[in-house]
Amino acid sequence: MLSIKNLHAGVEEKEILKGLNLEVKAGEVHAIMGPNGAGKSSLASVLSGRQNYEVTEGSISLDGKDLLDMSPEDRAREGVFLAFQYPIEIPGVSNINFLKTAMNEIRKYKGLEAMTAKEFLALSKEKQKLVEFDAKLVNRSLNEGFSGGEKKRNEIFQLAMLEPKLSILDETDSGLDIDALRIVSRGVNKLRSKDNAFIIITHYQRLLDYIVPDFVHVLSDGKIVKTGGKELALELEERGYDWIKEETVS
């Protein structure tokens, strides 16, 4: 599905990703952990096409298509979805109209007919239930005045609606209370299939108890420095990151 090779990227002269490699296959869940400032969100940004990041070397392909060549909207239409670490508030844009526009632009790209209002409503109801997203929030302005947790839940609601191929969850767990964490995780687990994949960026092993990853990677200083199974997360929780840094130096 996703293949990242020797990715170098940065912002204004500053190199942040320094030769990153990652292979994600359909049906897999990959967790990425790592110290603050390591470049996790930067990786998510580069994948989704944020403008201020410049890729200086390497390649990213999704099912054989070169992602780096595409606009952010085309990446989304090809099935990339980023649940933002800090979802922005957009006053005046209604949550539901925005989603409908997104949905229909993606469908148009794929050569599908636009959804009728009725179909859309039914789908929206179903997905709201899945992530227990408050119906009142659906009709409000996009994220405006939402609590931190509500914003995160809205990201997962959108994810559920758009059913992307590759979902990247950037610290979706931070800011969620324990119940919300369980609900969101359950939602994600229901959405998992053999055809899609998830990259889950997190600082906390706890999330990985709910969404069990196939691989855990440690991203440090712009590179993946260690890869293991789900037990690696437990070890990180216990020992922190210093031992890995030492390991890679020696």
Partner 1 sequence: MTNQIETPLYERFAAKFEIASLQSGNEHLRALRQEAFDIFRSTGFPSVKNEEWRFTNTLPYLKEAYDLEVVTSELSKEAFDQTAKLIAAHLDEVQHSIKGEQKGAYRLVTVNGRINNDLSVLPDAKDLKILSFLDAEHEPAFEQHFGAIATVKDNAFTALNTALYTDGLYLEAPKNKALDRPLHIVNVILADSAVFLQPRHLIVVAAGASLEIIETVITDKTTNPVFVNGVTEIAVAENAHFHHYDIQTGREGIRLVHRTEATQAAGSNYSNYTFTLPGADFVRNNLSLHLNAAGLESHLYGLYLTAGSQLVDNHTEVHHKFPHGESNQLYKGVLLDKSKAVFNGKIYVYQDAQKTNAFQQSNNILFSEKATVNAKPQLEIFADDVKCSHGTTIGQINKEALFYLQSRGISAQSAKKMMVNAFAFDVTEKVKIPALRTYLEQLIAAEMSKHEEA
Retrieve residue 64's tokens.
């054989």
Q: Which residues contact 26 (CB under 8 A, 6 or more apart)?
A: 1, 165, 194, 195, 196, 197
- Interface positions with Mg ion (CB under 5 A): 40-41, 85
Residue 35 gets which letter from DSSP? Answer: -
- Interaction mask 120-159, partner 1, x per CB under 8 A: ---------------------x----------------x-
Query: H helices then E strands: how many in the chain?
Result: 10, 12
SS3 237: helix
* Shortest Cβ 45–partner 1 spacing (Å): 9
Measured from the CB atom, the residue of 40 and 75 that comes closer to Mg ion is 40
Tokens describing residue 193: 């299939």
Q: Which does 179 bind (CB under 5 to 8 A by kind): ligand ATP, partner 1, Mg ion, none?
A: none
Phi, psi of 116, rounded to the nearest 5 degrees: -75, 160
The 3-state DSSP class for residue 189 equals helix
Q: Is 43 in the site for partner 1 (CB under 8 A)?
A: no
Residue 13 has which token pair?
A: 């002269």
Query: Which residue ranges make up the site for ligand ATP (CB under 6 A)?
Result: 11, 14, 16, 34, 36-42, 52
Q: Which is nearer to Mg ion, 85 or 154 (CB)?
A: 85
**106 near partner 1 (CB under 8 A):** yes
Closest among 48, 50, 47, 42 to 17, alpha carbons compared: 42
x/- letters, 155..194, toward partner 1 (CB under 8 A): ---x---x--------------------------------
Least spacing, CB of residue 222 vs partner 1, in Å: 22
Give, rounded to a whole angstrom, the gap between the first and last alpha carbons of the chain: 33
Q: Which residues contact partner 1 (rule: CB under 8 A)?
A: 48-51, 71-73, 75-77, 81-82, 84, 87-88, 90-93, 98-99, 101-103, 105-106, 109, 141, 158, 162
